[in-house]
Each structure stands twice: as structure tokens, then as C-alpha cells.
């Protein structure tokens, strides 16, 4: 009867496994694994053992692992970006508001300078004249209590009105401001009644 013998692992395989276990344990002996010469079958066995031992180590260390701080860091980065964006938006809004206020103040100062020494009597709107036929004039007036003949008036027509061959004249009489518009364009013009003309009476 022939006796059966089990193949013993080669010394190189034993050295590699020992080095692998040492490496998982955290010792420097793992360097031996790089010098052990293994055949294809032995390398496969070492890989199998490595996977098994790695799973054991991961399972053992898993309870102590945490990614909570990473999540917190992401949240902190997001919050930081949002805060920076909010500060930038606030600064831009404040800058825009300052520019608007500066422009308004400059315009107010310019108006005050232009009217220096004068008294504003009244201001308001005058309707447009509607349709004005060729070679004709239309008068539009508005009550302005306190206005007197000889007062000055500034009239600002809408920008959409045509400017060619149109004569626009403003005048002030007692408690009244008026304008005359004459159409010399060669065709009938429809100015509409709105938007209105702005007027300012001062003396």
C-alpha cells in the first residue's frame, strides 16, 4: 500500500506569510516579503492570506474609525464660502447704494447751484397735446397757484417726441403755466397725452 504524503510549503512561502503577518502587526520584519522568491502558486496563496488578514484587521479597527470630522470640514468649507459670498454681496449692495446716493446728491447739488438765489414756485406735469396736424399749434396749460407773469419755467418733454420741425414754447401767467406746440413737420403728428411733460416754475 502506497503511503500518501502532503506537500510541505516552501521556505519562501513560509517567510512571505510570516512577513505579511508581521506587517499587519506593524513591525519592520515585513521587508522580508520583498526578498522572498515565490513561484506563481505561492504568490496566489500569499494574496489569499493577505486578503483574509486585511479583512480581519479592518473589522477589528472599524469601531474606532470615524468620518464625522470630514463631514464637519465639508460643512465648514460650505459655510465659509457662503459667508464670503454674503459679505461680497453686502459690500456690492452697499457700494451700489453709495454710488446711487452720490449721484443723487450730485444732481441735487447741481440743481441747487442752478437755482441759487431763486425761489421754486411750483413743479408738476403737463399732458401731451395728442394729435397735432401739419402747420398748426396746440396750447396746453396747468394751474400753478402763486405763479406770476415773468416767472421762469423749465419744460422737459418726453424723449420719445420727435424733435424735427417741432416748435415748443413755455410761458407763465398768473397762477398758470402753459406751453404751445407747433407742428411744422409736413405731416400730422400724434404726440399722445402720456407720458407727460415735466415743468418747474421759479423766480
Residue that wins the pLDDT comparison between 147 and 107 = 147
Grid cell, residue 60, equals 477589528
What string of H, E and C letters represents the secondary structure of the chain?
CCCCCCCCCCHHHHHHHHHHHHHHHCCHHHHHHHCCCCCHHHHHHHHHHHHHHHHHHHHHHHHHCCCHHHHHHHHHHHHHHHHHHHHHHHHHHHHHHHHHHHHHHHHHHHHHHHCCCCCEEEEEEECCCCEECCCEEEEEEEECCCCCCCCEEEEECCCCCCCCCEEEEEEEECCEEEEEEEECCCCCEECCCCCCEEEEEEC
Q: Report pLDDT for 29.
A: 43
Top-level CATH class of 120-202? mainly beta
Q: Which region among 33-47, 60-74, 122-136, 177-191 has the lowest average model confidence (pLDDT)? A: 60-74
The yes-or-no verdict on residue 172 having pLDDT over 90 is yes
Distance CA 192, CA 199 (A): 17
Q: Report pLDDT for 27.
A: 46
pLDDT in tens, 6-25: 556 666 666 666 666 666 55
Q: Is the pTM of this model over 0.85?
A: no
What is the average pLDDT value for the chain, to the nearest integer?
A: 75
Please name which of 201, 64, 21 lies closest in space to residue 124, comparing C-alpha atoms: 201
Residue that wins the pLDDT comparison between 102 and 200 = 200
Q: How many percent of the chain have pLDDT more than 70?
A: 53
The yes-or-no verdict on residue 155 having pLDDT over 80 is yes
Distance CA 124, CA 144 (A): 9
Q: Which region among 37-41, 99-103, 139-143 has the lowest average model confidence (pLDDT)? A: 99-103
Distance CA 48, CA 7 (A): 18
Residue that wins the pLDDT comparison between 46 and 131 = 131
> What are the extents of the domains in the chain?
11-64, 120-202
Amino acid at each position: 500500500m502506497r503511503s500518501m504524503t502532503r506537500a510541505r510549503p516552501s521556505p519562501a512561502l513560509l517567510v512571505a506569510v510570516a512577513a505579511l503577518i508581521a506587517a499587519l502587526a506593524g513591525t519592520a520584519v515585513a521587508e522580508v516579503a520583498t526578498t522572498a522568491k515565490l513561484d506563481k502558486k505561492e504568490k496566489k496563496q500569499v494574496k489569499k492570506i493577505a486578503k483574509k488578514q486585511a479583512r480581519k484587521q479592518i473589522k477589528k479597527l472599524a469601531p474606532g474609525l470615524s468620518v464625522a470630522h470630514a463631514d464637519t470640514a465639508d460643512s465648514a468649507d460650505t459655510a465659509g464660502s457662503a459667508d464670503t459670498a454674503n459679505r461680497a454681496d453686502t459690500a456690492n449692495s452697499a457700494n451700489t447704494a453709495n454710488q446711487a446716493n452720490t449721484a443723487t446728491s450730485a444732481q441735487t447739488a447741481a440743481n441747487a447751484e442752478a437755482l441759487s438765489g431763486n425761489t421754486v414756485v411750483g413743479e408738476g406735469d403737463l399732458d401731451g397735446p395728442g394729435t397735432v396736424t401739419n402747420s398748426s399749434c396746440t396750447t396746453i396749460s396747468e394751474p400753478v397757484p402763486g405763479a406770476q407773469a415773468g416767472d421762469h419755467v423749465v419744460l422737459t418733454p418726453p424723449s420719445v417726441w420727435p424733435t424735427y420741425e417741432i416748435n415748443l414754447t413755455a410761458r407763465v401767467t398768473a397762477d398758470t403755466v402753459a406751453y404751445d406746440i407747433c407742428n411744422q413737420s409736413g405731416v400730422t403728428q400724434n404726440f399722445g397725452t402720456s407720458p407727460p411733460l415735466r415743468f418747474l416754475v421759479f423766480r
